Structure formats: structure tokens, C-alpha cells
């Protein structure tokens, strides 16, 4: 493995194959980088279908100027480069800036695929080692499974050597976007570092392919519990029937639907946003139609680094003016403006 995923499809190639004019969308890609694995490109059936919307630039990305590049205050909450310490007992270790596909709705749209300061894994691990409250480390990025095998093995070994680190989690979309990169060799290495958990990121039933199922089977066979974090995306999956099919399919692949995320308020992504009320309606519509195992927590990651909050009747209250009051994990009621 290497941090440069391949083979990839150029934007010009994929647009040409569907007879779509590329000049304007190249301007979008100049602002927000584009990358598309050949495998994921093969899932596109037509322009503007659910896979296309996730992977192909849209002019709407450039018309969204009101939102923040970093609404979750990740940069403020980074005590050292490459580490986000938001909760007392958990931290996110950013292992790189590359992915097999640069998702158009990405929460780190400001940095994924962009040039900038190199990730300093040494300083990040050193910080974890001297912070005994940290028990749970999520390795994210970019996609950490794109790191060279030896580098990832070394990183996991260093984290395992820290006595207060109990749980290591990996966030990876490779089972969705480039499943051939989930190899037996990779899974054997990962199995040496238990307890290890992996959350992946399926958003639509079109992504539930035999190749994806095999990748998930390899990971599960290595003893790694799998969860899935879906983002609620307008025009992609904001429909109970679509999510029912997705969540049933995930359970068949031994992947537990874990979170359904309200879109973060990230600059360049407003065209994907659904109203908070729609998300609550969608989840409620699933109750009684599917097993409780197939219903994820519907959550919003509050701006300003206040953390994830489950959206329930007792935690999220709509105000007469259309705004929301949401109760945080520490009991405070905070205002949330829902642009949708």
C-alpha cells in the first residue's frame, strides 16, 4: 500500500464518458481537489445519480460562501499538528491527507488533498503518551488504510505500547471506494493490534457491491468489529426506503449502522444539507420497519467543538422562529442555526 491511491480516473475522463462539459467543473476542482478511484467511478450509472453526487464536483460548491471551512473548530482543538483533542478521554489522530475518493461533502474539505504542513505522527503520538486521560484513539485523516503497511503497523504498535490507551479505532472509506485495497495481508497485520474497531462509510445501496462485501468479510474475519457512519445527503439518501435498503444490506455484511450524521456546516457543502426535522422524520419512519440493530443514532456535530449530540425529542427542540435549541453532552442548551 501507499498513500497515493491508484488507479484513478481524471475528471476530464469521467465527464467525457458521460458527455458532460468539463471546463466549469475543473474550476471547482481547482478550489476543492478531485480524486476518484476507477472502482468507484464504475458505480456511476448516470450524471447526478447518488454516486455521482458524492464524487463529482458541482458548481454549487463555489456558491456556498457563508459557512466556515472549519465549523467544528478542529484546528483550535489541535494541541499538536495532526491531533484533535475535543473530549477528555478521546482524540482523533490524523494520519494523512489522502483518500481514494475526495468526497464532495467531506467535513475536512479544507485540507483533504490539499498541500500544507505534513502530518507529524511523532509529535501526535508523543502527546498521547503524556496525556493519561486519553483512553480511546480514533485514527482518521484522510484514509489511514492508505498508509504504507509498515508505517501503519508501526503507528499501531506505538499506540499499543501506551498503557492508558485502551481502544484504537480506525475510520476508513476504502471498503466503499476501493475495496480491493483491503487485502488479507492488511487484515493479518491489523489483527495483531486488538482491541481494534473500524468504522466505514456507506451512504447508498449502490455501494453495497460484492467487492465491498468481500472487503468487509476480510476485516470481520480478522476479528475487527465493523460500524458504519452514514451522512444524510440531500438527493442521495434522504429517503426512508433508501436508508432501509442500505441498513438492511449493511447488517447482511456484518456492519452495524452506527451513526446517521446531519451534514456539518462546512463551506462548499450546503447543497447536500437536509433540514434537521427531515432527518428525525426519516429515522422515525424506520422504526417498526427494521430491527433496532438497523437503526443508527441520528446525530449532529455541534459547531465550535461542542461535540456530537443525538437528535431526540428530549435533546433537540425547535423554536417558534425556526431555530433549534440542542442539549449538549454536558447538559447545556445551545442554539443551533439550521440553514436548510
Catalytically annotated residue among 40, 216, 308, 336: 308
Residue 254 region by backbone torsions, left for phi larger than 0, else alpha for psi between -120 and 50, else beta: left
Catalytic residue among 104, 108, 109, 181: 108
Specify whether 317 is catalytic: no
The verdict on whether 259 is a catalytic residue reads no
Report whether 98 contacts 146 (CB < 8 A): yes
All cell numbers assigned to 181: 485495497
Q: Which of 53, 301, 306, 336 is catalytic?
A: 301
Q: Which three cell numbers stand for residue 286?
A: 424506520
Q: Which of 106, 216, 259, 336 is catalytic?
A: 106
Catalytic residue of the set 8, 39, 70, 99: 99
Q: Closest by alpha carbon to 231, among 210, 204, 266, 194?
A: 204
Is residue 216 annotated as part of the catalytic site, yes or no? no
Query: How far is 100 from 103, CA to CA, in rounded Å?
Result: 9
Burial class for 184, CB neighbours closer than 10 Å (0-12, 13-18, 19+): exposed
**Which residue of the set 97, 264, 273, 336 is catalytic?**
264
Q: What angle do CA 274, 90, 250 make, to 5 degrees?
A: 50
Pick the catalytic residue: 8, 103, 187, 216?
103
Phi, psi of 325 (to 5 degrees): -115, 125
329 is known as an active-site residue: no
Question: Is 256 among the catalytic positions?
Answer: no
Catalytic residue among 38, 49, 73, 90: 90
**187 belongs to the catalytic site:** no
Q: Which of 87, 123, 126, 158 is catalytic?
A: 87
Is 103 catalytic? The answer is yes
- Cα gap 235→239, rounded to integer Å: 9
- The catalytically annotated residue of 86, 169, 181, 273 is 86
338 included as an active-site residue: no
State the catalytic residues.
Answer: 86-87, 90, 99, 103, 106, 108, 264, 301, 308
Amino acid at each position: 500500500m501507499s498513500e497515493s491511491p491508484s488507479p484513478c480516473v481524471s475528471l476530464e475522463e469521467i465527464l467525457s464518458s458521460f458527455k458532460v462539459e468539463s471546463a466549469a467543473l475543473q474550476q471547482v476542482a481547482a478550489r476543492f481537489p478531485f480524486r476518484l478511484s476507477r472502482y468507484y467511478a464504475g458505480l456511476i450509472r448516470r450524471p447526478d445519480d447518488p454516486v455521482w453526487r458524492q464524487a463529482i464536483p458541482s458548481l454549487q460548491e463555489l456558491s456556498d460562501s457563508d459557512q466556515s471551512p472549519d465549523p467544528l473548530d478542529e484546528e483550535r482543538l489541535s494541541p499538536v499538528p495532526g491531533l484533535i483533542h475535543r473530549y477528555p478521554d478521546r482524540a482523533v489522530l490524523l494520519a494523512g491527507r489522502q483518500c481514494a475518493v475526495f468526497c464532495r461533502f467531506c467535513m475536512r474539505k479544507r485540507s483533504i488533498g490539499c498541500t500544507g504542513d505534513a502530518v507529524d505522527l511523532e509529535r501526535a503520538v508523543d502527546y498521547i503518551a503524556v496525556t493519561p486521560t486519553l483512553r480511546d484513539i480514533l485514527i482518521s485523516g484522510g484514509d489511514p488504510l492508505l498508509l504504507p503497511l509498515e508505517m501503519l503497523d508501526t503507528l499501531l504498535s506505538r499506540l499499543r505500547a501506551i498503557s492508558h490507551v485502551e481502544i484504537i479505532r480506525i475510520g476508513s472509506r476504502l471498503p466503499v471506494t476501493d475495496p480491493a485495497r483491503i487485502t488479507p495481508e492488511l487484515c493479518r497485520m491489523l489483527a495483531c493490534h486488538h482491541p481494534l474497531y473500524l468504522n466505514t462509510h456507506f451512504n447508498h445501496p449502490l455501494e453495497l457491491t460484492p467487492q465491498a462485501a468481500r472487503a468487509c468479510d476480510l476485516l470481520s474475519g480478522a476479528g475487527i468489529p465493523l460500524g458504519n457512519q452514514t451522512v444524510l445527503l440531500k438527493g442521495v439518501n434522504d429517503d426512508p426506503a433508501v436508508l432501509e435498503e442500505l441498513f438492511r444490506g449493511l447488517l447482511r455484511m456484518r456492519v452495524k449502522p452506527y451513526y446517521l450524521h446531519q451534514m456539518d456546516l462546512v463551506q462548499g457543502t450546503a447543497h447536500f444539507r437536509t433540514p434537521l426535522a427531515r432527518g428525525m422524520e426519516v429515522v422515525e419512519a424506520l422504526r417498526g420497519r427494521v430491527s433496532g440493530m438497523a437503526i443508527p443514532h441520528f446525530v449532529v456535530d455541534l459547531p465550535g467543538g461542542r461535540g456530537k449530540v443525538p437528535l431526540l425529542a428530549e435533546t433537540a427542540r425547535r423554536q417558534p422562529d425556526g431555530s433549534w435549541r440542542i442539549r449538549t453532552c454536558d447538559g447545556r442548551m445551545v442554539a443551533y442555526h439550521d440553514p436548510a
